[in-house]
């Protein structure tokens, strides 16, 4: 299986450095091997030129091999080859062996090869079946014959191969050392970039969505003359802008939170007075015109709705401010039973089902707020599903957590609304009358209460199935 190339910058730089060095080593190896081969070939050609075809010419007098007409092997190197051609036909061929001329038997291919050698006094490389590769030169004799003299190429090739082997070992060791040293050097060179990455990851892990955020300090030692220093400088500027924006946002949230808390607190008294006067007027024993009674009843109804809205806003303001909740043992099983009884009384047209464990489940928290959160989920299911809908409340324990789930088989929540369903004043039906609907804060209170208890609130919804899941520490 082929290994994928490294994806990290350090790996790519190290691999690129080693690959570049390998290319250079390959080029140097090829050039030096060719240069050495050319040099040795030149030396062979010089030796052949210096011999002047003397050994090949002496073969002409080998009709009777005696002491006087034996081939002249004086000054000839071992394995020197000589041949005489007359009318493109090889008449004699021999090779120097132990300072004597040893006749050769040539094949028809060898004869054709020798006959094809240009008579120019230059060196040419050939292969003879009984001898191997040779470097030969051909010159004309006095009798219009051709004298061929050759030297073996084996020493040249052996020397070149030895150089190639040495280069492979040296270059291989150089690549290994360069790879290790390059990896260390690249790691040291990229150390400032690793600090930038760590700082960016630290910022990415901060809860930037809301609340006050403590941004980390700027990166030190950002040299603008280097690319990494420029990245660090840009990151420092960006962190400064983000910190300034978060500070302004937090200040705006605090002002809005204080306004909501102060306004809700100040509205409680006049709303209570309006409601009290409306109830007092409705208790009047004298005759009251029908249209006046209807107006008083509407005033009383709207004042009650406004009271609930003010109470919800005050609760959210307190939870946002981090007001401590009660930490007492809470029997969730009993709390769910009571909330379901209240929902059954308010929505008798729905089917209210329970899926509870046999043993009571207890958590630590604020019983009143937890009952309010579960009650809001049941009220939400009653309000947004038609009569006859099955609404099931289940309670389970998973390791160190307790899960409360309220699910129904109603029409579901639109996909575009699900990400913001726990937001404030979020309504599924924007066209419905405000007088008949809720405040739009029920699910926001659920999320705030559960978050204040260290838990999470999630939703999954599709047509025929909607489930709100509350997870609390066990």
As a whole number, the mean pLDDT across the chain is 82
Residue 121 · residue 115 · CB < 8 Å: no
Q: Which secondary structure element, helix H or strand E, spans residue 247, and what is its range?
A: helix 227-282
**What percent of the chain lies above the pLDDT cut of 90?**
30
> Helices 290-320 and 227-282: crossing angle, nearest 10°?
150
User: With 60 as the cut, is the pLDDT of residue 11 above it?
Assistant: yes
Shared domain for 54 and 81, answered yes or no, is yes
Shared domain for 261 and 339, answered yes or no, is no
Q: How confident is the model at residue 8 (pLDDT cuts 50, 70, 90)?
A: confident
Shared domain for 389 and 442, answered yes or no, is yes
Give the count of domains, the chain.
3
Shared domain for 26 and 65, answered yes or no, is yes
> Is 435 inside any structural domain?
yes
> Is 141 inside any structural domain?
yes
Shared domain for 304 and 382, answered yes or no, is no
Q: What is the CA radius of gyration of the chain?
A: 50
Q: Where are the beta strands (DSSP E) in 49-161?
A: 81-86, 89-97, 100-103, 124-128, 132-140, 146-152
> Is 85 inside any structural domain?
yes
Q: Which of 268, 295, 323 is the last residue of a domain?
A: 323
CATH number at residue 277: 1.10.287
> Is 220 inside any structural domain?
yes
Q: How confident is the model at residue 396 (pLDDT cuts 50, 70, 90)?
A: very high
Shared domain for 460 and 336, answered yes or no, is yes
Q: Which of 159, 179, 214 is the last residue of a domain?
A: 159
Q: State the average pLDDT over residues 240-256.
A: 74
Q: How confident is the model at residue 374 (pLDDT cuts 50, 70, 90)?
A: very high
* Domain interval for residue 65: 12-159
> Is 179 inside any structural domain?
no
Q: How confident is the model at residue 262 (pLDDT cuts 50, 70, 90)?
A: low
> Is 194 inside any structural domain?
no
What does the DSSP assignment read for 154-167?
A: HHHHHHHHHHHHHH
For residues 222 and 371, the model is more confident at 371
Report pLDDT for 334. Answer: 92
Residues 117-162: tens digit of each pLDDT: 998 888 899 999 888 999 999 988 877 788 889 999 999 999 999 9
Residue 343 · residue 379 · CB < 8 Å: yes
Q: Which secondary structure element, helix H or strand E, spans residue 168, and what is its range?
A: helix 154-189
Q: Which of 19-28, 112-121, 209-218, 419-428 has the lowest mean pLDDT?
A: 209-218
Shared domain for 360 and 414, answered yes or no, is yes
Report pLDDT for 276. Answer: 79
Report pLDDT for 402. Answer: 93
| Report field, pTM of the whole predicted structure over 0.85 | no
Residues 29-55: tens digit of each pLDDT: 999 999 999 999 999 888 888 877 788
Query: Can you state the percent helix, strand and coil of the chain, rounding each to 5?
Result: 50, 20, 30
User: With 90 as the cut, is the pLDDT of residue 165 above it?
Assistant: yes
User: With 80 as the cut, is the pLDDT of residue 363 above it?
Assistant: yes
Shared domain for 349 and 414, answered yes or no, is yes
Residues 211-241: tens digit of each pLDDT: 666 777 777 766 777 777 777 778 778 878 8
CATH number at residue 151: 3.30.450
Shared domain for 351 and 319, answered yes or no, is no
> Is 236 inside any structural domain?
yes
> Is 172 inside any structural domain?
no
Structure tokens at 459: 């939703």
Q: How confident is the model at residue 261 (pLDDT cuts 50, 70, 90)?
A: low
CATH number at residue 433: 3.30.565.10
Report pLDDT for 67. Answer: 44
Shared domain for 333 and 463, answered yes or no, is yes
Shared domain for 391 and 360, answered yes or no, is yes
Q: State the average pLDDT over residues 453-463.
A: 91
Structure tokens at 414: 């639109």
Report pLDDT for 182. Answer: 86
Task: For the chain, report the end-to-end CA distance as a whole number of angstroms.
Answer: 48
Shared domain for 143 and 219, answered yes or no, is no
Q: Which of 295, 323, 351 is the last residue of a domain?
A: 323
């Amino acid at each position: 299986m082929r290994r994928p190339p490294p994806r990290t910058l350090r790996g790519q730089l190290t691999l690129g450095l080693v690959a570049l060095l390998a290319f250079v080593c390959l080029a140097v190896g090829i050039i030096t091997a060719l240069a050495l081969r050319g040099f040795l070939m030149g030396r062979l050609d010089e030796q052949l030129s210096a011999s002047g075809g003397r050994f090949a010419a002496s073969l002409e007098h080998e009709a009777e091999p005696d002491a006087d007409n034996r081939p002249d092997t004086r000054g000839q190197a071992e394995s020197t080859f000589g041949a005489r051609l007359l009318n493109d036909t090889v008449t004699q061929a021999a090779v120097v062996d132990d300072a004597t001329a040893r006749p050769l038997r040539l094949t028809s291919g060898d004869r054709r090869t020798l006959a094809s050698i240009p008579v120019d006094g230059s060196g040419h490389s050939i292969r003879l079946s009984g001898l191997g590769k040779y470097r030969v030169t051909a010159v004309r004799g006095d009798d219009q014959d051709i004298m061929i003299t050759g030297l073996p190429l084996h020493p040249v090739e052996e020397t070149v191969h030895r150089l190639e082997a040495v280069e492979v070992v040296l270059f291989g060791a150089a690549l290994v050392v360069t790879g290790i040293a390059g990896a260390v050097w690249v790691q040291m060179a990229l150390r400032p970039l690793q600090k930038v990455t760590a700082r960016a990851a630290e910022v990415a892990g901060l809860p930037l969505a809301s609340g006050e955020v403590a941004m980390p300090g700027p990166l030190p030692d950002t040299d603008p003359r280097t690319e990494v220093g420029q990245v660090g400088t840009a990151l420092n500027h960006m962190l400064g802008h983000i910190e300034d924006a978060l500070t302004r946002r937090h200040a705006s949230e605090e002002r809005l939170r204080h306004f909501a808390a102060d306004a809700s607190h100040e509205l409680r008294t006049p709303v209570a007075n309006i409601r009290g006067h409306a109830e007092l007027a409705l208790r009047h024993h004298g005759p009251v015109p029908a249209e006046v009674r209807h107006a008083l009843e509407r005033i009383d109804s709207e004042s009650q709705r406004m009271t609930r809205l003010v109470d919800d806003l005050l609760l959210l303001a307190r939870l946002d401010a981090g007001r401590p909740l009660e930490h007492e043992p809470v029997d969730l099983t009993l709390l769910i039973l009571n909330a379901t009884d209240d929902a059954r009384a308010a929505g008798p047209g729905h089917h209210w089902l329970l899926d509870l464990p046999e043993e009571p489940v207890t958590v630590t928290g604020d019983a009143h707020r937890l009952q309010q959160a579960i009650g809001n989920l049941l009220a939400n299911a009653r309000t947004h599903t038609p009569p006859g809908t099955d609404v099931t409340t289940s309670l389970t324990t998973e390791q160190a957590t307790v899960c409360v789930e309220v699910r129904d088989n109603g029409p579901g929540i639109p996909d575009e609304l699900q990400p913001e369903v726990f937001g404030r004043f979020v309504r599924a039906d924007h066209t419905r009358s405000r007088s008949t609907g809720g405040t739009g804060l029920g699910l926001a209170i659920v999320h705030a209460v559960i978050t204040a208890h260290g838990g999470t609130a999630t939703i999954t919804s599709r047509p025929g199935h909607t489930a709100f899941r509350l997870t609390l520490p066990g």
